[in-house]
Amino acid sequence: MDAVLSSKCLQICKEHIPLRRWSGRKHQIPRDRRRLMKKRANLQRKLKKVTYAVAENAIQRQLHSLQDALAQSHVRQREQEEQRAVENIKVNSKFFYSYTKKRLTSTPVVGPLLKENGELEDGPQEMAEMLQTEYQRVFSKPDTQKRVTDPCTFFSERKCGDILLTTFMITREDIIQAISSSRTRWLPYCVSEKL
């Protein structure tokens, strides 16, 4: 009797309770890249502790090669994503268009700058200083003779044929007409509420 009851309960449970699916979390960062980043972190820790110049140079070379490997990993991933988007263009065009929209905006990168002696500089602090000195050299300084000392009297004088902001009226109808003739029909909530 006990065996029949337990087998019947087991059968009912199998029919009505779904199997538990494996919920293993997929890592966002690929395994090979995680390993490279772990090695890089270890080498950076070693670099802080090293006292000999020879060992420091060796660690710097290893760090440089790891950076290259990480960059290659990113390039491979981008190529795989692009290939997947191209393969899915006929089957799932939405996937392709979302991929292209995501890649459409790219942040501009300021490349290495050329020093006066002909060498390339890629350090961010040095590049910022070089750009600052170039901007200071290019832009002229304001003329001291044309400097406005008293803005109240300067801006109160009528210089452009007596046309001031106080000489014409803007009515509510003018604003509504300008809004209705604009290309976009969308208004912020605060403006539409007041109209």
The pLDDT value given to residue 195: 47
Q: How many CB atoms lie within 10 A of CB 96?
A: 18
**What whole-number distance in Å separates Cα of residue 125 and Cα of residue 122?**
9
Q: What is the dihedral of CA 36, 40, 46, 51, to 10 degrees?
A: 130
pLDDT exceeds 80 at position 44: yes
Stated pTM of the model: 0.42
Lowest mean pLDDT among 5-9, 48-52, 105-109, 181-185: 181-185
pLDDT exceeds 50 at position 115: yes
What one-character DSSP code corresponds to residue 149? S
Residue 42 pLDDT level (bands cut at 50, 70, 90): very high
Residue 13 pLDDT level (bands cut at 50, 70, 90): confident
pLDDT exceeds 60 at position 45: yes
Distance in angstroms between the alpha carbons of the first and the last residue of the chain: 80
**What whole-number distance in Å separates Cα of residue 36 and Cα of residue 70?**
7
**What whole-number distance in Å separates Cα of residue 135 and Cα of residue 115?**
15
Domain ranges for the chain: 31-102
**What whole-number distance in Å separates Cα of residue 58 and Cα of residue 61?**
5
DSSP per residue over 27-41, as a string? PSS-HHHHHHHHHHH
The answer to whether 36 and 62 are in contact (CB under 8 A) is no
pLDDT exceeds 90 at position 111: no
The answer to whether 63 and 40 are in contact (CB under 8 A) is yes
Give the residue-averaged pLDDT of 128-153.
Answer: 82
Report which residue type is found at 63. L
